[in-house]
Structures are given as structure tokens and as C-alpha cells.
């Protein structure tokens, strides 16, 4: 069993002062094996904070990230799953599932994680999953109104992944769960 934290679009400090305190108290070092961050952090303090939670940190570049070392896309393999990471502002129309599916095919991944829209989404799609963890700080978005802070925790176990969505709604953390099983036929 491997825990993967997926989050992004913190836009700190441009759009939000900090992660919600309730999230911070849940995210403690030592529990998470990998962090994947879609981008728009947007400063080094956030980077360092994530690094302190888990040293295995994967970040792609959002359009407000100044750090040029972050790549546009990234793929990694965790257990039996191949994951793809991309901020998503490069995929027009923004947040469009069919366009993201093309990226998923291009990166040839089981799970594609993107951000940019600040809206949590998780689709099962062509035998894969497309996830948007939303904005961890609930930052303003021109695309989504009334953004709630949210992040995603993936529990990867063999051919199964359970996606937990943590969403802060009116000061309370709400958790949702989506189950996904990979069929052996997905990839040759």
C-alpha cells in the first residue's frame, strides 16, 4: 500500500495566504510516500513545506511558477500504475475531458493528474483515470466559481487505487472515495 498526495494550484501568496489550517494538521510528515503537485505553488516556501512532508516530490510547472526547473509534463511509475502529471493550462479547452484524454494517450499513463481549473474532478476514462485535485488553498479561479479548498490522496495497492478527495466545505473537511481497478488488458 502506497499513499500518494496529489495537489496543486496553491497560488500562494497571489490568491491565498496559506493552506487551510485543517489541511495542515492532517498533512503530517512520514505518512505519505510520494507527492505529486500539478504546479502554481507559487513560491519556494510552499515547495519547502511540501518537501518537508515527503522528500519524493514531483512538480510540473504552472503558468505562475517562476522556477524554470519544473518540467511541463512528467511521468512516473508507482507500483503497477503509470502516472502522468501536467498543470493543464497547455491543454485547450481548459479542463476539457476529451482533450485531457488525448494527453493521457500521449503520455500513455493509467492515471493523469492535472490542475488549472481549481475544481476537483475524477473520471474513469477508457480504462484509465483522469484526476484534478482542485486548488489546495481554494484559490480564486476565472474558470470555477466558489472554489473549495481540496486535495487528493491516492492509496495504491496492487491493481487497485482508492482515490480519497478531501474538500473543505464551510469549515468542515468532507471526504469522498472513488475506487478504481486496473484491468490487466489496459496495456500490452
Partner 1 sequence: KIKYVRRTEENTTPASIQAKPAPSGTAHARSNSAPRRRRRGRPDPPHQAARMAAASAAKRMLPDGGADDEERWLAEGIAGVQQNAFYMHRALDSNNLKDALKYSAQMLSELRTSRLSPHKYYELYMRAFDEMRKLEMFFREETRRGSCSVVDLYELVQHAGNVLPRLYLLCTVGSVYIKSKEAPAKDVLKDLVEMCRGIQHPLRGLFLRSYLSQISRDKLPDIGSEYEGDADSINDAVEFVLQNFIEMNKLWVRMQHQGPVREKEKRGKERNELRDLVGKNLHVLSQIEGVDLDMYKETVLPRILEQVVNCKDDLAQFYLMDCIIQVFPDEYHLQTLETLLSAFPQLQPNVDIKTVLSALMDRLSNYAASSPEVLPEFLQVEAFAKFSNAIGKVIEAQPDMPVVGAVTLYVSLLTFTLRVHPDRLDYVDQVLGACVKKLSGKAKLEDSRATKQIVALLSAPLEKYSNIVTALELSNYPRVMDYLDNATTKVMAVVIIQSIMKNTTCISTSDKIEALFDLIKGLIKDMDGAQDDELDEEDFKEEQNSVARLIHMLHNDDHEEMLKILCTVQKHILQGGPKRLTFTVPSLVFSALKLVRRLQGQDGDVTGEDVPATPKKIFQILHQTIEALSCVPSPELALRLYLQCAEAANDCDLEPVAYEFFTQAFILYEEEIADSKAQITAIHLIIGTLQRMNIFGVENRDTLTHKTTGYSAKLLKKPDQCRAVYACSHLFWTDDQDGIMDGERVLLCLKRALRIANAAQQMANATRGSSGSVTLFIEILNKYLYFFEKGIPQITNTVIQDLIELIRTEKQSDNTVADPSTEAFFASTLRYIEFQKQKGGSIGEKYEQIKTT
CB 73 within 8 A of CB 84: yes
Pick the binder of partner 1 from 16, 41, 54, 122 (CB under 8 A). 16
| Residue 44 found at the interface with partner 1 (CB under 8 A) | yes
| Residue 89 found at the interface with partner 1 (CB under 8 A) | yes
Pick the binder of partner 1 from 43, 73, 80, 148 (CB under 8 A). 43
Pick the binder of partner 1 from 15, 34, 118, 182 (CB under 8 A). 15
Footprint of partner 1 on 23-42 (CB under 8 A): none
Footprint of partner 1 on 127-186 (CB under 8 A): 127, 139-140, 142-143, 145
Q: If you ran DSSP here, which 8-state letter would residue 141 be given?
A: -
Beta-bridge mates of residue 157: 160
Helix-strand-coil split of the chain, %, nearest 5: 15, 35, 45
| Residue 90 found at the interface with partner 1 (CB under 8 A) | yes
| Residue 13 found at the interface with partner 1 (CB under 8 A) | yes
Question: Could you give the CA distance from residue 37 to residue 184 in angstroms, rounded to a whole number?
Answer: 27
Q: Which residues contact 136 (CB under 8 A, 6 or more apart)?
A: 7, 8, 9, 10, 19, 23, 149, 150, 151
Q: Between β-strands 73-78 and 111-114, what pairing exists: parallel, antiparallel or unpaired?
A: unpaired
Sites of contact with partner 1 (CB under 8 A):
11-18, 43-45, 63-64, 89-90, 92-94, 98-99, 101-102, 105-106, 108, 126-127, 139-140, 142-143, 145, 188
Amino acid at each position: 500500500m502506497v499513499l500518494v498526495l496529489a495537489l496543486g494550484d496553491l497560488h500562494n501568496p497571489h490568491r491565498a495566504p496559506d493552506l487551510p489550517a485543517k489541511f495542515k494538521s492532517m498533512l503530517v510528515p512520514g505518512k505519505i510516500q510520494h507527492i505529486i503537485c500539478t504546479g502554481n505553488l507559487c513560491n519556494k516556501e510552499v515547495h519547502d513545506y511540501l518537501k518537508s512532508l515527503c522528500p519524493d516530490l514531483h512538480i510540473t510547472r504552472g503558468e505562475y511558477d517562476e522556477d524554470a526547473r519544473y518540467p511541463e509534463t512528467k511521468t512516473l511509475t508507482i507500483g503497477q500504475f503509470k502516472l502522468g502529471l501536467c498543470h493543464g493550462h497547455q491543454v485547450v479547452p481548459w479542463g476539457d475531458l476529451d482533450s485531457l484524454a488525448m494527453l493521457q494517450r500521449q503520455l500513455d499513463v493509467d492515471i493523469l493528474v492535472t490542475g488549472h481549473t481549481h475544481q476537483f474532478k475524477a473520471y474513469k476514462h477508457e480504462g484509465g483515470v483522469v484526476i484534478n485535485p482542485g486548488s489546495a488553498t481554494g484559490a480564486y479561479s476565472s474558470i470555477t466559481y466558489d472554489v473549495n479548498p481540496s486535495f487528493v490522496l491516492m492509496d495504491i495497492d496492487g491493481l487497485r487505487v482508492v482515490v480519497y478527495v478531501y474538500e473543505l466545505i464551510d469549515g468542515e473537511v468532507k471526504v469522498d472515495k472513488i475506487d478504481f481497478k486496473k484491468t490487466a488488458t489496459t496495456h500490452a
